[in-house]
Every structure is written in C-alpha cells, then in structure tokens.
Amino acid sequence: ISEVALILGDQLNASHSWFKTVNAKRLFVLMEIKQETNYVTHHIQKVVGFFAAMRQFAQALSSAGHQVFYFTLDADHNQQNIASNLTALATVMPQLEGFSIQQPDEYRLDKYLQDFAAEQSIPVDWFDTEHFLCQRSVLDDWFGPKKQVVMESFYRRMRKSTGYLMNDGKPLGGKWNYDKANRNKLPKGQTPPAPLCFSHDVSKLVAMLELQNIKTIGTIDSKNYLWPINRKESRQLLDHFVRYLLPNFGRFQDAMHTDYWALYHARISFALNTKMLSPREVVERALTYWQKHQEDVDLAQIEGFIRQIIGWREFIRAIYWQQMPAYAELNFFNHSNALPDFFWTGATRMACLSHAIQQSLDFAYAHHIQRLMVTGNFALLLGVNPTVVDGWYLGIYIDAIEWVELPNTRGMSQFADGGILATKPYISSGSYINKMSNYCTSCAYQVDKKVGEHACPFNSLYWNFIDQHFDKLKTNPRMALMTKQWEQRSESDKNSLRAQAQFYIENINTL
C-alpha cells in the first residue's frame, strides 16, 4: 500500500473518479468515530443512518475489488478521531507515500484536516468531491468579491450555466420563477401518497451506540429503520418522488398537516447530503420524467423543484464558504434566550410546535416550512440565542451537516446575519400557520386572539418582536408595512401586546 485515501461519512459518492479503476496500492479508509458522534447531540436515526450507509458503501467498494479498511466505533484499535487513526495506520505501513483527502464540506473538518496535512512528512493530495454543481468560490467568481447576492440572481445564473429549463437563452415558459402558483394549503379530501419507507434491522448498530454511551436524541424503530442506506434505495426514493410526488410538489410545498408528515416532499436530503445521490442526477431524473409526462407535471411543479436543487442548495453552500468562519458567530438581534424545554420533548399545548417537534423526534425529519415557519419562527420571536438554535437543528435532522444547516438556521430562519442570505426575517403571527395548515383547529390556543386567556402565543410574540427590534426593522423596505402598522397602534394596544408577550416569555415552559 502506498496511498491511504480517506472517505468521510458524507462522501459516499460511488461515481467518484477514485473508484473508476481498482488500484491495489490504494487503501480506502472509513471510520466511525466519537469525534463525529459527539460534536453535537445527534438524533439516533442520524447516527445510525450515517454508520449504516458507510458500512454499506465500504462493503460495495470491497465487493468491487477495492481495498478498504473500516474502523467500527467499538473496535479496540479505534482512537476515535481522524488524525490519530490515520497516523496509526501510517506507522504500520512503511511503504506509505501519501494521503488522499476529498475536500470536506464543513469548515470544522476542513480546518482540522488542513492542520493534519500540515503536520505530515508525506504529501497529502486534495481532491474535489465531484458532487456539487459549482465551486465553493462561485459567488465571488460570478458576482465579484463579497458583493451581496440574492438567491434569485444566483439561480438565474445557474439556469443559464446548466441550460436546465432554458430555451434559446430564455427561461422556458417565459418566466424564471413560478412560486406564486405554489403556495397552497392541503385541501380537504386531498390525500398525499404514503411515504416510501425502508425497513432495515439496525438493532446491532443501536446496541453498539448504547454500549459506547453515545448520547442521542429522538426515537428509532430499530427493526424498521426507514431511511435509505445505499445507492439503490436512494434511487428508489428519487423514483418514488418523481412518479408520485413531483406532480404536486410545488403546489403543496408550503402546506402543513397533522395527518401527513412527508406530504409531497422528496425526503432525499439525507441521500443527497451523504452524496449517495448527486444533484445532477436528481435534476435530470426529474426533468426526464417531466418531459415524458407533461400532462401530469406542469412547469410550475418542475421549476419549483429544480429551483430547490440548483438554486437554494447550491446557493446555501456558496454563502457558507463565502462567509465562514465569521458567519457562525453572527447575532444581528443580540438574542440570548434559552430554547424552551419542549423543543426536546414536543410537550406543549401549542399544536403547531407540538406536531413539528414530535415529528422531528419520531422521524429526524420536518419539511422546510415546519423548520422555517413553526420552530424557527418561534425561536426567533422568542429571542433565542442563535448558537443554541443552531445546535438544535444540527442535531435533530437526518440531513443536518453544518454547511447546509448553518446558513439555513442562522441566516434564513434566525436572520442573525442581518440579511446576507434573506432579504427580511421570516416571522409571522399565528395567521400564516393557520393559512397553511390544519394545526390551529386542534390547538389549545385561539389563533384569532392576540391577548387574554388562550390567545395564540405567536400573535403577541410577533408584535413584541417588531417593537423590540423596531429600529433595525424600520430600515428594511420589506418590513415597512409591519413597522408602520405597529406605529399606528394605540399605546394601550401596544402595552397589552407587550404584557401578553412578556407573560408568555416568562412562562414559556408552561405553554
């Protein structure tokens, strides 16, 4: 063996050029380590998903003739961090001439591996992960250094550069964005197809995590683990999506419902973020289906989906690499409150939060609007410290890896970046939640009440937030209407909203 090639848990890209030919002198190394299980408290389904997928990937490489060394978490020789394990391997391989590393997507690991590389006496070669559609530096490359870019400009550039949904340099159908057609509540009688869930027996993995005292959150059905753990299943999930869900994807993208946890969402973020699926194949599979079934899938649905993959996902990554490491410290509103206890249990009488949180604990999944407009919205209105909010999102979701979690949470949802990512804070009173869901019908609180007993907490917290941050919000043109409305309220109205919000903040763990 002359080369040790490291494969991180989110680098399970079977199409990578590393695997095109078998090289007997190259050893691929994968490791289950406490460095990764313990940097935040993860959902049990997330840890199991990563380890199960890594094991299957290692197995597939071995079967294809590659040489693989796999550290299980409980192996005696496992030193539980990347550097020590690689160093230990090097000491027993006198012929070793170098390490190969694929660029990590997280700043944390990037820095760590660069420090490791700097200490080596043998060369360390860096490789692209061959996954994303653009480079880390794409924003500066396209728009100039540090210029503020809105997602829509980035997305149009992506459409032009990929040629997806383009005709002669123009957007197909004449419009770039069909979002306006895409904001519907789930009507009565509309039943989304049942989500495709796999059924793995992962009880040995779960027992190993318990024996190793790995602290986790959430629950798991260890005889019926539902997430895809290999490429075949990831492709099945993608196929299920394009066939049964894509026809209504955009239409009900923002809808929430007590009976359906997955609605028309693809649930491919775990497969994508571990690189079992590539963004290009996801887009091309969806486009091919749409081209053949235009009677089923209209342009608004396919455009809405393509925008998520080539627009939002790539934009989020570009912001992350443009702004790190300072981004992880930003706190525009200087928020410092704690997260309510019910974020860890779902035990609240607020039906929207109870549903979104309970579902997250049960499935390690909530869809975008639940994350943004229920849990995120509430944390922001409550003034929770964004670092604490980040920790919660980074732990609880199956797809949470810092490069994608951080800009979504700190930027889009908490506006702690002061507007680098989003043009206004995503806040709402109860009426938005009522408009997009059936949550309010089974809630102990009344959505149309702002003050008094049983008043929906989102209402007074919303106005209190505008009051508290009035100076910062009034200069934002997209908040002008709201700040004006607040100004026009009578002093007694303002005071009762303030008092109601204060009461809720002080008694948050009893709501």
The residues that touch ligand SF4, with contacts defined as CB under 6 A, are 350-352, 430, 433-434, 439-440, 443, 445, 447, 456-458
Residue 443 binds which of ligand SF4, ligand FAD, none (CB < 5-8 A, kind-dependent): ligand SF4
For residues 228 and 457, which CB has a smaller minimum distance to ligand SF4 in the complex? Answer: 457
Q: Considering CB distances under 5 to 8 angstroms, the limit depending on partner class, which of ligand SF4, ligand FAD, none binds residue 273?
A: ligand FAD
> Based on CB atoms, which residue is closest to ligand FAD, 56 or 308?
308
Radius of gyration of the chain measured on its C-alpha atoms: 24
Q: Write the CA distances from 386 to 212, 304, 344, integer angstroms.
A: 30, 29, 16
Q: Give 297: exposed, middle or buried? Use CB within 10 Å, 0-12, 13-18, 19+.
A: buried
Please list every residue from 322 through 361 that binds ligand FAD, using CB under 6 A: none
Q: Smallest distance, Å, CB 402 to ligand FAD?
A: 8
Determine the length of the chain.
Answer: 511
Three-state secondary structure call for residue 53 = helix
Please state, in angstroms and rounded to a whole number, the distance separating the CA atoms of residues 44 and 363.
10
Task: Classify strands 3-6 and 26-31 as parallel, antiparallel or unpaired.
Answer: parallel
Amino acid of residue 143: F
- For 257, the 3-state DSSP assignment is strand
Tell me, residue by residue from 1 to 20, as one string, x for binding to ligand FAD by CB under 6 A and - for no binding: --------------------
Residue with tokens 């509540």, as numbered in its chain? 185
Contacted entry of ligand SF4, ligand FAD, none for residue 307, CB cut-off 5 to 8 Å set by kind: none
Q: State yes or no: residue 397 binds ligand FAD (CB under 6 A).
A: yes
311 vs 457, beta carbon nearer ligand FAD: 311
Indicate the residue among 89 and 395 with the shorter CB distance to ligand FAD: 395
Residue 308 binding target from ligand SF4, ligand FAD, none, CB below 5 to 8 Å by type: ligand FAD
CA triple 473-477-483, angle to 5 deg: 45
Residue carrying the six token digits 């809630």: 443
CA distances from 63 to 3, 57, 66, 343 (A): 20, 10, 7, 43
Give the contacts of 121 (CB within 8 A, at least 6 positions apart): none
Of 105, 106, 405, 417, which lies in the binding site for ligand FAD, with binding defined by CB under 6 A? 405
Distance between CA atoms of residues 77 and 91, nearest Å? 13
280: helix, strand or coil? helix
CB 28 within 8 A of CB 74: no
Separation CA 361–CA 357 (nearest Å): 6
Window 213-252: contact mask with ligand FAD (x via CB under 6 A): ----------------------------------------
Q: How far is the CB of 479 from ligand SF4 (least distance, A)?
A: 21
Backbone angles phi, psi at 380, to 5 degrees: -70, -45
Residue at 233: amino acid letter: E
Tell me which of ligand FAD, ligand SF4, none is bound by residue 432, counting a contact when its beta carbon lies within the kind-specific cut-off of 5 to 8 angstroms.
none
| Structure-block tokens of residue 365 | 């999944």
Among 48, 272, 299, 352, binds ligand FAD (CB under 6 A): 272
Q: Which residues pair with 5 in a beta bridge?
A: 28, 100
**Which one of 25-33, 324-332, 370-378, 490-498 is the stretch in contact with ligand FAD (CB under 6 A)?**
370-378
Q: Using the rule CB under 6 A, give the single segment among 122-130, 154-162, 230-238, 368-376 that binds ligand FAD.
A: 368-376
Residue 32 or 405: which CB sits closer to ligand FAD? 405
Least distance from ligand FAD to the Cβ atom of residue 268, Å: 5
351 binds, among ligand FAD, ligand SF4, none (CB under 5 to 8 A by kind): ligand SF4
Q: Identify what 216 binds: ligand FAD, ligand SF4, none; CB under 5 to 8 Å per kind.
A: none
Q: How far apart are the C-alpha atoms of 426 and 415, rounded to whole Å?
A: 8
Nearer to ligand FAD, 171 or 376 (CB): 376
Residue 325: asked if its preceding bond is cis (omega within 30°), the reply is: yes
CB of 440 to ligand FAD, least distance (A): 21
Residue closer to ligand SF4 by CB (options 76, 453) is 453
Considering CB distances under 5 to 8 angstroms, the limit depending on partner class, which of ligand FAD, ligand SF4, none binds residue 226?
none
User: Cβ closer to ligand FAD: 86 or 263?
Assistant: 263
Q: CA distances (Å), 166 to each of 101, 139, 159, 302, 303, in order?
A: 36, 22, 7, 13, 11
Summarize as ranges the residues that interact with ligand FAD (CB under 6 A). Answer: 265-269, 272-273, 308-309, 312-313, 316, 367-368, 371-372, 376, 393, 397, 399-400, 404-405, 408-409, 412-413
